Chains A and B, each alone.
Chain A
Amino acid sequence: MSEALPQKRLRIKFAKENALRYIGHLDLHHIWQRSIRRAGLPLIYSQGFHPQPKIQIASALPLGFSSRAEFVDIWISPEAEYSVEGLQKNLPEGIKVSSIEEVDLRAPALQTQGDYAEYEVTILDEIPADELDLKLASLMDAESLPREKKKKKRGKVRTFDLRTLILDLHRLPLDGENERIYMRFTAREGATGRPDMILKEMEIPIEAARVERTALVFKA
């Protein structure tokens, strides 16, 4: 068991922005791997035929979203010294580290710990405020919003209630030219809401919006 190796676990909070918005989850994994190597932090590898570095990213951010609240857990040798600056200068410019903290080795996987997430969505095309309010209110007021979702594998269709994933939706006060929406969704395993679901309801294509995750809150 790899747990037998002496190691420590670091939780890094970071922002993902600019060019990195367009980089997917799997590629981000490689970026972390190389950045950590560049920073000279010895990663712990899983045991087995294809040893993999132990890196866990909290929750996959859809392509095109930026975020101020991403988390990654990494396992490194216990004696390795680290710092925010040391790591930062080895990262591509679209990743900004805000904090590093040591967490218990036995703490559950990040992916299972999400509770809810907050987003700020900027609508790039012009849209009247009252129309926006109306749409958001109709979603908030609905009893339930049964929707279908195709599973990636085998194209099976699953139904789910979008309404249960929504915690809050409201228009933000105007600041600049574009309208902005605050969105809060559950972010639990198997029950994760995302802004693109709402955009779809409003018939706004994803490329006509700028989405930023502003917070990812873990279970207490």
Chain B
Amino acid sequence: MLTPNQIEARLERVLLTVQKPGRYVGGEYNAIHKNWDTIQTKVALLFPDIYDLGISNVGLKILYDQINQRDDALAERAYLPWLDFEDVMRENEIPLYALESKNPLANFDIIGITIPYETLYTNTLNALDLAGLPLKSADRGEEHPLIIAGGHTGTNPEPMHAFIDAYVVGEGEEVIHDIVEEVARSKSANESRAALLFALAQIPGVYVPSLYEVEYQDDGTVAATKPKVEGVPSRIMKRIVAKLPPPPTNFIVPNIKSVHNRATVEVMRGCTRGCRFCHAGFTTRPVRERSVEEVLDAAEKSIASTGYEELSFLSLSSSDYTGIAELVEAVNERFPDEKLSVSLPSLRIESVSLDLMEGLKKRRSAGFTLAPEAATERMRRIINKFITDEQLLTTAREIYERGWTTIKLYFMIGHPSETLEDVEAIVDLSQKVLKEGRRAIGGRAKLNLSVGTFAPKPQTPFQWVSVDTFEQINAKQDLLKKKLGRGIRLSWTEPEDTMIESFLSRGDRRLSDVILSAWKNGAKFDAWGDQRRYETWMNAFAEHDLDPTFYTHRPRRVDEIFPWEHISTAVHKKFIFRDYQQSLEGKIRVDCREQCFACGILPQFNDLRRENPGKGWMCPEVKPKKIRKMKDLSMETL
């Protein structure tokens, strides 16, 4: 294996032949360099896409921070090379290496890969290959690093089961320590790989696919997924942290331009709205908030430690953060430097949002994005995102009147039972919005319309439905393009992208072969429109006698056992199913902050809730255990 010095020597000879060599050299401010020779457990954190995207991934920032806080472990980073550098690496036999020490990835004890979306699967294989590692878990031995993965795809890890040794389901902050400790223990005990994997499977929230097997029905659906060995849980419950730990603030500041190059503070995790299409909404419950004070402190620290001119507060729905008004006000007080721009993602469609943005206006917050998602009342009831046209138009008018010239509207086509009329309503509504703008500020008013295509996700009420066919999507997109008229800029998702996302997100174990074949035949960077190779994917399905429409266009039976049935997000399948049925009936379910619907979170995590009473959680309080005992006691003494 090459030493870091050898890798650096080779790099020097090739870096000037590729675009943006700054991606491949590290040396950023706040990067942590620990002593390789004295530290016991070495973790390489990998984002399977290029540096420019990966450097801003919040999940990896958290893990980097958590691991490097330990004295006995180090974390370094790696990203995928862009195509030009990949060729150069292969040609010059430069293995994938970590940016801090330039050690090859194969030298680490653990490679932790974050896979937030499915179109990174082929890239993940490419990364393992560039690292010189056997792709399949079964082909790796003691001499290889342990490959763990996590991120949103953990709610259905099956398509990647053949490649990943252990998949983390849920939140990583605590479980990463358990894994590091287990690996360290196993290493010093000189344990076999099999023993380590068995031990890892005991950690709550860790799924070791090789210890489970799947039986199929004659119709190709799953009959059961069961442990192969005794002593591992038959169901893997997602891991959550009871209280959000202090957020990382010493962000690595990239030396080159990158996406979302800014300081971020996560203000809240989870969402109580219950939009039925939303994977994050159903899988990141319960809602846990940070206090305004903690958020401000973190913001202050991260700006001081990074020098960033831009600060973004992260959450699935900024408007729902309890302290949002207080936060905006406090931001202006604490950061009198007007050069700092502040952004609040995902604001609700109501005038309160405007007041919030107004508060940050002198901070050059960019355009205004509103996401009604659907344009008819029927659709809105189906997806459980209910606003009225009136609300949207009033808010839009106010936005234009208060001086913003551009609004971005976000809709989705392909919701269950959607018709062309529902799509036409998107056109009408958008035109009305622009008309409001014209009335308010004349020709300066602009409207950008972004129309995504819905891809059903596992562990959500729409896990039973099929995705639109090519014909349906084309007809809907054609209608939009034809009818929209001048003055509105439209962007959409190519149907091929939606299909790839769909079969991967609800795929089963047989997809591992398909992913491997697709990658072997050149599929990678599937998330980059211009790199997507749909034909390659279709050939890969054919090669394995599988039909992609089985995964995309087949409505699931109500009693179907899903490939992800053994993975639990704590939200009961019964609850999700009822929600799906309510959707068919056009019934709205209100925000569960107003009323708890017993989705399953509280019974599962009642101990955690009990340990963290008060406002941090949005779920109702659970009674302290002690009180009951005391009562019993007093009864006895009576």
Taking a contact as CB atoms under 8 Å apart, the answer to whether B17 and A22 are in contact is no
Q: Does B410 contact A (CB under 8 A)?
A: no
Q: Is the CB of B16 within 8 A of A24?
A: no
Q: Across the interface, which residues of B come within 8 angstroms of A18, CB to CB? A: 25, 27
Interface residues of B in 291-325 (CB under 8 A from A): 304-309
Q: Roughly how many angstroms separate A82 CA and B307 CA in the complex, as a whole number? A: 16
Residue of A nearest to B308 (CB): A34
Q: Are B13 and A22 in contact, with the CB atoms below 8 A?
A: no
Residues of chain A with a CB closer than 8 A to B304's CB? 38
Please count the residue pairs between chain A and chain B whose beta carbons lie under 8 angstroms apart in the complex.
76
User: Using an 8 Å CB-CB cutoff, how does the interface string of A43-76 with B read, 1 for contact, 0 for none?
Assistant: 0010000010000000000011000000000000
B14 contacts A23, C-beta separation under 8 Å: no
Q: Are B29 and A92 in contact (CB under 8 A)?
A: yes
Pick the interface stretch among A130-138, A140-148, A202-210. A202-210
Distance in angstroms from A153 CB to nearest chain B CB is 20
Q: Is A35 an interface residue (CB 8 A)?
A: yes
* Total residues of chain A contacting the partner, CB 8 A: 31
Size band of the interface chain B makes with A: 20 to 34
**What residues of chain B lie closer than 8 Å to A37, measured between beta carbons?**
307, 309
A92–B28 CB distance below 8 A: yes
Asked whether any CB of chain A lies closer than 8 Å to the CB of B359, the reply is no
Interface assignment of B26: CB less than 8 Å from any CB of chain A: yes
Residue of A nearest to B27 (CB): A19
Structural contact, B13 and A124, CB atoms closer than 8 A: yes
Would you call B22 and A24 a contact (CB within 8 A)?
A: yes
Q: A36-B307, A38-B304, A92-B29 are in contact. Are A20 and B255 (CB under 8 A)?
A: yes
- Looking at the assembled complex, report how far the CB atom of B368 sits from the nearest CB atom of chain A, in whole angstroms: 20
* B261 nearest in chain A by CB position: A30
Asked if A27 CB lies within 8 Å of chain B CBs, one says yes
Q: Is A33 part of the contact surface with B, judged by Cβ < 8 Å?
A: yes
In the complex, are the beta carbons of B22 and A22 less than 8 A apart?
yes
B349 lies within 8 A of chain A by Cβ: no
For residue B15, CB closer than 8 A to chain A, the reply is yes
* Complex Cα spacing A93 to B253, Å: 12
Instruction: Give the distance in Å from the alpha carbon of A64 to the alpha carbon of B13 in the complex.
Output: 11
| Known A34-B307, A38-B304, A92-B28: A63·B16 in contact at CB below 8 Å | yes
Looking at B27, B28, B306, which has the most chain A CB atoms within 10 Å of its CB? B27
B259 at the interface (CB under 8 A from A): no
Q: In the assembled complex, which residues on chain B have CB atoms less than 8 Å from the CB atom of A36?
A: 307
A92 to B306, CA, bound (A): 11
Partner of A207, one of B13, B29, B256, B339: B13
Determine whether the beta carbon of B306 is less than 8 Å from that of A124. Answer: no
The answer to the question of B555 belonging to the interface, with a C-beta cut-off of 8 Å to chain A, is: no
Enumerate 9 A-B pairs (CB-CB under 8 Å) in ascending A order.
A24-B22, A24-B256, A27-B257, A34-B306, A38-B307, A51-B339, A92-B29, A94-B27, A124-B13
Interface residues of B (CB under 8 A from A): 12-17, 21-22, 24-29, 253, 255-257, 304-309, 339
